[in-house]
Amino acid sequence: MKFTLEKTSEDCKARAATIETDHGLIHTPIFMPVGTAGTVKGVHTSELRREVKAQIILGNTYHLYLRPGMQVIREAGGLHRFNGWDRPILTDSGGFQVFSLSSNRKLTEEGAHFRSHIDGSKHLFTPESVVDIQRIIGSDIMMALDECTPGTADYGYARKSLDLTKRWLERGWNHYKSTEPLYGHYQSYFPIVQGCTYPDLRREAASHVSSLGADGYAIGGLAVGEPAEVMYDMIDVVNEILPQDRPRYLMGVGTPVNILEAIDRGVDMMDCVMPTRNGRNGMLFTPEGTMNMRNLKWAHDFSPLWEDGPCEVDRVYSKAYVRHLFIANELLAMQIASIHNLSFYLWLVGEARKHIFEGDFHKWKTEMVQKLNRRL
């Protein structure tokens, strides 16, 4: 993987870069739609390319491991061939799902023991096995197994958790270096910076992962209950240490405002289920604020969702029509909303990239944040 830093803002830490993978280029800053079980819910791969203009999507190791299982994905030739997406894919390690979905889990030095949320069967993720699983999935970017601590964890818990994550990382990194891709394309392995909301732990973790010389680095354990300002502070702390010549991936974040604030602080890559999940529940994001499409105020508004929007659904469908679809519980409502929201998120990071090159990102971001916080 090749990372080329192209431009850095003079009035903040925002940066524009290009990541080159065997499945194509990624222009940063970038938002990555989440395809948990091998699909971005309600959105065809053709729509991801044409309407959303996604450059990279995510797959989830935990869910793909349980269903359809590694034998099926291996027989298919990897996730790219299985789901028909020919651009880059990033997979997480599945650790967060182990901790959030399993009602019966146990962490040991060996790894994470858990029961499937589907049928209760017992499983074990180790730092080594999640590398092997992601080799079978064939993602372009693989993540290390870590423990994601709650944002409210006390210092003692965060300390113990980080120590375990560091030991798991050493094992996972060694296994990654001793194994080869299965399908002929290169796979990167990103360590994850943990440390909860404690600056000293975050600095220690950032220094530790940086020593490995990996292709890129992730910032995990944020947007999990801590105030937004604390999250921003932790991003600043970590990015002071992470190498300038490697991509930085903020995991699971977030709102449009969160994304712009993260870019302002030097983050390159982000993902979140919010655009599709909120879209399925009738919330649409726009450059002027958010719209609840179930509100009566849209019932007679026949203007387009977004007259100058970047995708066809923005210009073709009216607010009144989309409201009607939601009230009638039509599946098309959720599909339109998902495509619209994802398209908006990709438009937003594209605009951020443009303003970084033009030299006025921070000013533009400040104005956008005021608009994005409004409810229409």
Which of 92, 140, 264, 268 is flagged as catalytic?
A: 92
Region of residue 196 (phi > 0: left; psi between -120 and 50: alpha; otherwise: beta): left
Whole-number Å distance between alpha carbons of 66 and 68? 6
* Residue 360 is among the residues annotated as catalytic for this protein: no
* Residue 271 is among the residues annotated as catalytic for this protein: yes
Enumerate long-range contacts of 253-256, CB under 8 Å, 24 or more apart: 253/222, 253/223, 254/223, 255/372, 256/285, 256/344, 256/345, 256/348, 256/372
Whole-number Å distance between alpha carbons of 90 and 58? 5
Place of tokens 């104005």: 367
In terms of Cα–Cα distance, which of 233, 268, 224, 237 is closest to 96? 224
Q: What secondary structure letter does DSSP report for 297?
A: G
Whole-number Å distance between alpha carbons of 47 and 342? 10
Angle of CA points 363, 34, 48, to nearest 5°: 85
Which of 140, 264, 268, 271 is flagged as catalytic?
A: 271
Kindly list the catalytic residues: 92, 271
